[in-house]
Amino acid sequence: MHVPIDWLKEYMDIENMPDDIAEDLTLLGLEVESITEGNTGKVLEIELTPNRGDCASIIGIARELSVRYKCEMKYPDTGVCSSGDKTANNYCIEIKNEKSCPYYSLKIIENVNVAESPIWLKKRLRDCGIRPLNNVVDICNYIMVETGQPLHAFDADKIKGKEIWVRKAEREEELLFLDKKKRKLDPDDIIIADREGPLALAGVMGGLDSAVSENTEKVLLESAFFNPKNISRTQKRAGLNTEASYRFSRNVDPEWVLRSLYRAADMIVKECGGKEIHGHLDAGGIPQRRKMIALTAERVNSVLGTRISIDEIKEYLRLLEFSVYSEEKGRITLNVPSHRPDVERDIDLIEEVARVYGYDKVDSSLPETTIEAEFLNKPDNFSRIEEILKAYGYSESVTNTLIDKNMIKNMGILKEVTPVSISNPVNVKMNILRPGLLFGLLQVAKYNINQKQSGIRFYERGPVFFLQDGEYKEKKQVAFLSQNEGFYHAKKTAISLLKGMKQEYSFKYDANTALFDKEKSAVIEIEGVRAGELGCLKEKVVSEAGLSEDNFAGCYIFMDSLKSGKSSDIKFRKWSQFPSIFRDISVVAPVELTHLDIYDTIKKAGGKHLKEVEMYDMFIDDKIGRGKKSMTFEIEFNNPEKTLCSEEVDRSIRKIIKMLENEKGITLRQK
């Protein structure tokens, strides 16, 4: 908004320099973006927030400054008639939708001489960024800038019949606007209409056919209160951001609806000649904003960290036109002025006190508070998972929640999950919500490979969506994907995650999943409940994602499967100062025997010095026997009290082999 400083000074007695005024407005919370030289002197450009519609006028800005400078406002005389003459010239106003337009009024001025505006008026409008047209229209714009109340002037002789309706637009109705463009109206738009059709798009822009021109002799001057939400919605739909819609969408002051109408009529009579018809025509009722809020000095000072007395608080708020309704035992109840609909609670009043008192006077200090220990113990599951994945060389990725249904259909995923379809997709390749994160990570891998990148490792955390038992489900998932790394790498990473989260997990190897190769995959179970999957992705899945030749391994885990509280119960033990001894054993086992069975047997037989067991190779070949598979394990031994000797480790290995043979029918593989 552009504000000429000379115009500001008409409403209060100040001699401050433009730079000082700009600084003071900024301290009041109204950011001054620039100071320029205009036709009438220095002009401020102020950026208003949507809640400060009261400052979308010269009077509103002056009112703010008067508080800063502790001077009284000088409001312009309006001479409002208390009751309208409903019978003047037999005009009739009817509001069809009072929710969208609670109040609408007209004033009639006859024998008007429409001509060019005086130079002083044109200069002021240009300084405010408004192009002068003629004296009647310019006066309407002048009053709008002055008071914040938009007005509109109709040529009365161009209105068909003596009836004005405020109603919703009908389907297929059109209006030729003042910018000489014809636009279709929407059924949700509020319009001003006569017997034959639309005259104006309410609160936004008038129509050309009813506009004031040099031939106009009789003016119908409009002033109304429109619902801000309706105007905001209409201006966005129509793409018409006008000076009027700027103010109506920010909420105008109901008390200035009639006052602005009479001030404009008086100014038109003085500047354009003519005769003002006594009274005004209206319909509906001016909205009453009678709101009261209670406040105490203790509450103000506890929030601001100040020592402001109750008398000072009353004076600050009085300058902002908040009046004291009652006062009892240090508690004051204040009436909120009609131009401040944004003030709804005591905290809003406290902000007003802070603005007037001065933000620069409020000391920076930390509030006194009590932190309970339980907050420190609450685990952040993903933070720990993220640390582990980053340690393994994975980079975070964020992918789109919308994917192509045909892609997962061709992958064969639909037999396992029912996706959530989008009724109005942006394009055909974004028509369902993702049922898993790995689909997006595959696309990330494809993009990076196309950019000649290698060694792909990505992870992501986010929501996934699917239908289950006829209900829409949304769950949080974490997933990772790597290129040219096999099942055991994915498993090792998953184990690190699960151990880092202190979960009681197990793996099930005989499940046939849609995503992963049957021979190189596992289902993750936490305390017996399915929590996710890991393994090498099927060749069909990889090829449908647009990838070829490379092998991809990955994993996904549902976050709600992780048992809460586990990660905070961490027990630390001293790091061993003595070296570990490693042994490899290769065994031949029945194909139906799972890795978990063998792992558990090794852990049980290995004794107290067995530290870690990891399988790093497995294959099936007729050379080793029909129905058999070869598995190779690396076993780590460590004694935190002393250095182990080979004889001790060999005894443990012999015990492991014997138990594997006796309990599982497993034999050592011959080289």
Which domains are seen in the chain, by residue range?
A: 2-68 (3.30.56.10), 88-284 (3.50.40.10), 291-360 (3.30.56.10), 381-561 (3.30.930.10), 581-668 (3.30.70.380)
The CA distance from 288 to 406, in Å, is 58
Q: Given this model, what pLDDT does residue 380 score?
A: 62
For 467-472, what is the mean pLDDT? 85
pLDDT above 80 (res 367): no
Out of 433-437, 476-480, 514-518, least confident range: 514-518
Q: Given this model, what pLDDT does residue 429 score?
A: 82
Tokens of 120: 């002083």
Out of 80-84, 167-171, 436-440, least confident range: 80-84
pLDDT above 70 (res 545): yes
Of 84 and 382, the one with more pLDDT = 382
Please state, for a pLDDT cut of 90, what percent of the chain lies above it: 44
Of 571 and 197, the one with more pLDDT = 197
Return mean pLDDT, the chain. Answer: 87
Of 360 and 657, the one with more pLDDT = 657
- Where b means 16+ CB within 10 Å and e means fewer, 452-476 reads eeeebbbbbbbebbbeeeeeeeeeb
Q: Given this model, what pLDDT does residue 554 score?
A: 92
pLDDT above 90 (res 133): yes
pLDDT above 50 (res 588): yes
For 163-186, what is the mean pLDDT? 91
The CA distance from 214 to 155, in Å, is 10
Q: Chain-centre distance of CA 547, in angstroms?
A: 35
Of 285 and 91, the one with more pLDDT = 285
Q: Given this model, what pLDDT does residue 109 score?
A: 92
Q: Are 498 and 561 in contact (CB under 8 A)?
A: no
The CA distance from 252 to 254, in Å, is 6
The CA distance from 355 to 349, in Å, is 10
pLDDT above 70 (res 86): no
pLDDT above 60 (res 632): yes
The CA distance from 489 to 485, in Å, is 6
The CA distance from 20 to 42, in Å, is 12
The CA distance from 104 to 94, in Å, is 9
Tokens of 515: 């995503």
- Where b means 16+ CB within 10 Å and e means fewer, 576-591 reads eeeeebeeebebbbee
CA-CA-CA-CA dihedral for 388, 391, 393, 398, to nearest 10: 40
Q: Given this model, what pLDDT does residue 62 score?
A: 92
Of 377 and 550, the one with more pLDDT = 550
Please state, for a pLDDT cut of 70, what percent of the chain lies above it: 93
For 319-324, what is the mean pLDDT? 89
Q: Given this model, what pLDDT does residue 35 score?
A: 92
For 437-447, what is the mean pLDDT? 92
Q: 150: how many CB neighbours lie within 10 A of its CB? A: 27
For 252-279, what is the mean pLDDT? 91
If pLDDT is split at 50, 70 and 90, which confidence band does 325 have?
Answer: confident
For 285-310, what is the mean pLDDT? 88
The CA distance from 126 to 40, in Å, is 9
If pLDDT is split at 50, 70 and 90, which confidence band does 61 have?
Answer: very high
The CA distance from 164 to 284, in Å, is 13
pLDDT above 80 (res 378): no
For 83-93, what is the mean pLDDT? 60
pLDDT above 70 (res 379): no
Q: Given this model, what pLDDT does residue 82 score?
A: 45
Tokens of 326: 């009652």
The CA distance from 533 to 238, in Å, is 51
